[in-house]
Amino acid sequence: MSLTPSGTPLFTRAGRLLLAIIIAVTAYSAGLRSSDGGAQENSALDLARFNEVLTLIQEQHVGPKTDEDLINGAIKGLVDSLNDPYSQYLTAEEMAAMKEGLSGSFTGIGAVIDLRTSAGELCTTISSDCLLTVASTIEGAPARAAGILGGDTLLAVDGDPLTGLSIDQAVLKVRGAEGTTVVITVRTGDTAPRDLSIVRAKIELPAVATEVLQSTAGDRVDYIALNEFTDIAADQFRVALQEIIDAGGDKIVLDLRDDPGGYLSTALSIASEFIADGVVYIEENSKGEQRSTSAEAGGIATSASIQLVVLINSGSASASEILAGALQDRGRAILIGEPSFGKGVVQTFIDLSDGSGLKLTIAKWLTPNGRWIHKTGLTPDIAVTSAPEGSEADPVLEAALNAFK
């Protein structure tokens, strides 16, 4: 241990941990507020009580503990105190998994999941009234082949209950090396839980899927499904859209059902393909200050001669809602289906020096007409109830094909 000339320890073990936590907090604030000097505010925090508790834990607690566990726990507690289901401190492993999920490919079982209470509200920690629920399964993925359905609840992984975990921690338990087997305990409705042995696979999730259909009148209709707003989605979408335009397509169905969102920049790029100029969305910060973001120049489908219908449901969230809300408010498309998820806040990812990271809510977002759809969702122009999962019928798509004039 380093000593001062008088032989007094420069830092106690608790003091070193406290310094590490202070440095982490200051680094996060500097990264978030680099333009307004907010990092200096942390110097006024009174951390004496925190240091007192930390010292007591180090000196008196009986049981295994590491410096890393204490630091991670302290920072997680800081973020959890916000009571915001979208703000999270992520360990290096969790941060890597989060980024992998937005890259367009990952290794797992291919289920889209979220945390919901019995009343349908978002929640943060798995419990008896905060369930890990399957929103949908990816076509061709192991989860669907194993019989997992939208609405199912995941209770345990390899026999370990998921109670007490965050959604990111649960995802890490489900994911693993390609070709390995994971046992998922699943409950469908009120039936008894069942164990499913599923072999993990590499899930390559193309951002865009296209198909040529026909309207009720027999006209060509081009269908584009956008699976997620990943970092490759905008480029893939533009290529697909250009092919449609080159083929003379002027009636397009954009399917955003069960699209959980992703990058805000991707939503702006895709909206700008259909909106020539003007507002796409509005951000409102913690001070109530609003800033409008306008369409980027160069969109290839901005002509009013190109008709657009957008499909949404309760799985359409976040960036999906930004895109659909902009197209609806600007009169560029009609929405068909069911009310969307209702996520009206924006997060940013902040990388910390050790590979861990922070996902932090930094603003509300509003549609061009100033609507905040948080917890209410977008209301479709034409309401159509989806068919049960597994049914070959698609009344929402049928309604879209009937909507073209």
3-state secondary structure of 174: helix
Q: Sign of torsion, CA 272 274 279 285?
A: negative
What pLDDT does 121 receive? 73
Which pLDDT belongs to residue 43? 56
Strand 357-366, strand 345-351: pairing: antiparallel
List all residues 6 or more positions away from 72 whose beta carbon is below 8 Å from its beta carbon: 89, 91, 356
Query: From the CB of residue 258, how many other CB atoms can be counted at a distance below 10 Å?
Result: 24
Choose the catalytic residue: 136, 269, 272, 318: 318
Q: Alpha carbon of 61 to those of 19, 52, 73, 363: distances in Å?
A: 20, 13, 15, 40
Marked catalytic residue, from 255, 314, 343, 386: 343
**pLDDT, position 25:** 37
Confidence (pLDDT) at 85: 84
Dig out the tokens for 244 from the structure.
């449609």
Question: Residue 233 has what DSSP assignment?
Answer: H
Distance CA 336, CA 331 (A): 14
For strand 111-116 and strand 131-137, is the pairing parallel, antiparallel, or unpaired?
antiparallel
**CA of 87: how far to CAs of 20, 90, 252, 279, 283, in Å?**
21, 10, 36, 27, 17
Amino acid 231: pLDDT: 87
Closest CA to 225 of 248, 267, 257, 273: 257
Q: In whole angstroms, what separates CA 197 from the centre of its chain?
A: 27
d(CA 62, CA 25): 28
Grouping H, G, I as helix, E, B as strand and the rest as coil, residue 142 is helix
What angle, 0 to 180 degrees and rounded to 10, lies between the N-to-C axes of helices 48-60 and 67-80?
140
Looking at 125-260, list the stretches that DSSP marks H as alpha helix, in order from N- to C-terminal side.
Answer: 142-145, 167-174, 233-246
Contact call for residues 156 and 185 (beta carbons, < 8 A): yes
Predicted local distance difference test score (pLDDT) of residue 344: 96
Separation of alpha carbons 261 and 399, rounded Å:
24
Structural domains in the chain plus CATH codes: 13-81 (no CATH), 106-204 (2.30.42.10), 208-403 (3.90.226.10)
Judged by DSSP in three states, 210 sits in strand
Q: Which residues contact 74 (CB under 8 A, 6 or more apart)?
A: 21, 50, 54
How far is it, in rounded angstroms, from Cα 366 to Cα 372? 5
DSSP per position, 72-86? HHHHHHHHHTT--TT
Q: What is the pLDDT of residue 239?
A: 97
Characterize the bridge pairing of strands 201-204 and 181-187. Answer: unpaired
- The strand pair at 201-204 and 279-284 is best described as unpaired
Q: Which of 269, 329, 356, 359 is catalytic?
A: 329
Please say if 46 is a catalytic residue: no
Helix, coil or strand: residue 34: coil
DSSP string, 239-307: HHHHHHHHTT--EEEEE-TT---B-HHHHHHHHHHH--SSEEEEEE-TTS-EEEEEPPS--SS--TTSE
The pLDDT, as a whole number, for residue 91 is: 87
Q: What is the pLDDT of residue 105?
A: 78
User: Are 157 and 174 a contacting pair, CB within 8 Å?
Assistant: yes
Q: What are phi and psi of 166, to 5 degrees?
A: -80, 170
Q: Is 329 a catalytic residue?
A: yes
Q: What pLDDT shows up at residue 42?
A: 56
Q: Which parts of the chain have pLDDT scores under 70?
A: 1-44, 122, 389-390
343 is catalytic: yes
